[in-house]
A and B are shown apart, each in its own frame.
Chain A
Amino acid sequence: GDSVTQMEGPVTLSEEAFLTINCTYTATGYPSLFWYVQYPGEGLQLLLKATKADDKGSNKGFEATYRKETTSFHLEKGSVQVSDSAVYFCALTKGGGADGLTFGKGTHLIIQP
């Protein structure tokens, strides 16, 4: 079946550091890829998305590029802030009908002042 693998956390960085959270996937066909963020005590918020190879999703300074050749969708941000501290989930769906999202295990990001 489909699966998503992302780096284990917690990942601890200093404010203004460069962030990369790795995500790779296994899926047949052409899935849509997503990053969701979960702040403490809250639900999941869609951070960014990409629906086909070489698409770049971006939002709030975060970026991720859909790389079909390496089956990857790594999340990056040039300068993180304390407010970025959260759990980040990589996910995929092939859509069509009512397919649920397949999630990675989540990466807990801690940004220190």
Chain B
Amino acid sequence: DTAVSQTPKYLVTQMGNDKSIKCEQNLGHDTMYWYKQDSKKFLKIMFSYNNKELIINETVPNRFSPKSPDKAHLNLHINSLELGDSAVYFCASSQNSGRTYEQYFGPGTRLTVT
């Protein structure tokens, strides 16, 4: 069973379009995240969502909006796509109790904006 899954794996779209990436985790975790990996492989947190509390990285444009229908899902919606949005987007989840806080990652969604 896949612990953290994302769809689609690849997404090619044109500038100005709106797209969504879906994420689901079956680990029973209470916290989910979105990360962006740029062309140089650098990873940066975009959002985290814990018990209905959304924590936003202030550097993320407001064209990006996470939506969580329930604890097991955290989707990422992107409006008015720009060339600079091309990247690999990773979803992750963790259980924020105890002391460990390790996060488990999905396989990633490679977004290409043309």
Contact = CB atoms under 8 A, between A and B. Distances in A.
Interface of A: 32, 34, 36, 38, 42-46, 49, 51-52, 87, 89, 93, 95-103, 105-106, 108
A28 to B, nearest CB: 16
Nearest to B49: A98
A103 B42 contact: yes
A106 B16 CA distance: 32
A10 B50 CA distance: 36
Contacts of B105: 36, 43-45
What is the predominant secondary structure among interface residues of chain B facing chain A?
A: strand
Nearest to A32: B101
Contact of B100 (A36, A43, A49, A87): A49
A107 to B, nearest CB: 10
B75 interface: no
B53 A98 contact: yes
Contacts of A93: 101, 103
Contacts of A52: 99
Contacts of B102: 32, 34, 46, 49
Shortest Cβ-Cβ A-B pairs, 6 listed: A100-B45, A95-B101, A98-B48, A98-B50, A44-B105, A103-B43
A98 B18 CA distance: 27
Interface in B13-60: 31, 33, 35, 40-45, 48-50, 53, 55, 57
